[in-house]
Amino acid sequence: MNETPRFDAYRHAIPEPLMPPRDDPFDAAVPPIYQTSLFLFDSYKELEDVFAGRSKKPIYSRGDNPTVRLLERKIAEMEGAEEARAFSSGMGAIAAAVLAFVGPGDRIVTVRHVYSDAFRFFEKVLKRFGVVVDYIDGTDTQAMLAALPGAKLAYLENPTSMVFELQDLTAIAEAARRHGVVTMVDNSWATPLFQKPLSVGIDIVIHAASKYLGGQSDTVAGLVTGSKAHIDRINSEIYPYTGAKLAPFEAWLVLRNLETLPFRMRHHHEAGLEVASWLQAHEDVTNVMHPALGEHPGKRTFSGFGGLFSFEVSDRIDVADFVDALGLIRIGVSWGGPESLVVPAKAALSISPETNVFARFGVTDRTIRLNVGLHSAKEVIADIEQALAAAKR
């Protein structure tokens, strides 16, 4: 990445009904928080016109809220999408997007090591309604393409969780179109600054805005973007009825933290790569799972890389001792905020394989997931170095 991605161009460029007025009486630099559940009408006629879709105005905040709408317009613009919908969590977004497109007897093609709660949603919820789910090694493009004919939905995550395996989105999107399969990509890791799946023919992009887009570990939020037709379908089939709407204050937090996204992502990209290459050279690290390392056609959709990746330690290292010896780096499951964090896969592997995607698809107990937060690479490396030395048997 040789250029800092520009972001300020998106500011104030949202000409749409339901937007906060451009002529704010106080010329506020920051959008107002519309902390209201309902919106009032001046007359019977105005109410009827809005109900009938003849004029546009928010009615009730489970449907539309101007602060939330501003976030939806921004993410749509960043992904190059026509439309977007915000949800109260990444899982709210995933569940609604998937439920809008599948029904009993339909088959979903997904990747092994899909986000752990997306896996549980497929296994615990969708299976009860007769949906079939195939878990494929997404790095194997031929296997992915062979699984597509007859499927309803291809649910992708580039890269996957915990082991960061790539998929060739371009090839999969092209084949899926030919077979009439709807494609979705969880793009939380790359953010629209580093990967724009819609530009290579993917239909729908999903974000856990709780991670990089929120960026401060202070919000849980989700976003779905795509064509107007696809988002309209989510709106008409699911969105108002499952009620997973984003609160105006939380939308405002994400909007606020989007302003620093290019600067944060540049740091995560650079510091992540520096830590990853240091780890590769360490005698007690046997594998580094960072999408920038190694060759795969799936790399070509990225213009930069996130700072979340995994590595495996040798059997000379006691995993629990290593984690406990870390100082600056804390133990915690989320990612994308200022904190540098680890999750040892070993702790998760104690959960039964029926509900544990990582146990089912062979993640080793020597795998450590690392989130390089807003610390310098030097600080993160120094902490890992001393903890590896302390945990050596």
Ligand X SMILES: *Cc1c(COP(=O)(O)O)cnc(C)c1O
Task: List interacting residues with ligand X (CB under 6 A).
Answer: 89-91, 115, 157, 161, 186, 188, 208, 210-211, 220, 222
Q: Which is nearer to ligand X, 61 or 158 (CB)?
A: 158
343-346 long-range Cβ contacts below 8 angstroms, 24+ apart: 343/368, 343/369, 344/319, 344/320, 344/368, 344/369, 345/162, 345/310, 345/369, 346/319, 346/320
Partners of 182 in the β-ladder:
153
CB of 145 to ligand X, least distance (A): 23
Q: Which is nearer to ligand X, 170 or 188 (CB)?
A: 188
In one-letter notation, the amino acid at residue 383 is D
CB of 195 to ligand X, least distance (A): 13
CB of 124 to ligand X, least distance (A): 15
Helix or strand holding residue 237 (H, E):
helix 228-237
Q: Which is nearer to ligand X, 72 or 157 (CB)?
A: 157
Tokens matching residue 204? 């729908």
Which residues, other chains included, contact 324 with Cβ-Cβ below 8 Å and sequence gap of 6+?
none
CB of 193 to ligand X, least distance (A): 16
Short-list 144, 148, 150, CA closest to 112:
144
Q: Which is nearer to ligand X, 117 or 145 (CB)?
A: 117
Q: Where are the beta strands (DSSP E) in 222-284?
A: 222-226
Strand 182-186 to 222-226 pairing:
unpaired
Which residues, other chains included, contact 331 with Cβ-Cβ below 8 Å and sequence gap of 6+?
323, 341, 342, 343
CB of 269 to ligand X, least distance (A): 17
CB of 116 to ligand X, least distance (A): 8
Q: Which is nearer to ligand X, 61 or 371 (CB)?
A: 371
Q: Which is nearer to ligand X, 159 or 304 (CB)?
A: 159
Short-list 122, 227, 111, 203, CA closest to 158:
111
Phi, psi (degrees; rounded to nearest 5) at 348: -75, -25
Burial class, 201, CB count within 10 angstroms (exposed 0-12 / middle 13-18 / buried 19+)? middle
CB of 336 to ligand X, least distance (A): 8
Q: Which is nearer to ligand X, 89 or 139 (CB)?
A: 89
> Which residue's beta carbon is nearest to the bound ligand X?
90
CB of 188 to ligand X, least distance (A): 4
Q: Which is nearer to ligand X, 210 or 257 (CB)?
A: 210
CA angle 66, 71, 73 (to 5 degrees): 90
CB of 54 to ligand X, least distance (A): 36
Strand 222-226 to 83-87 pairing:
antiparallel
Q: Which is nearer to ligand X, 74 or 113 (CB)?
A: 113
Tokens matching residue 291? 């999408």
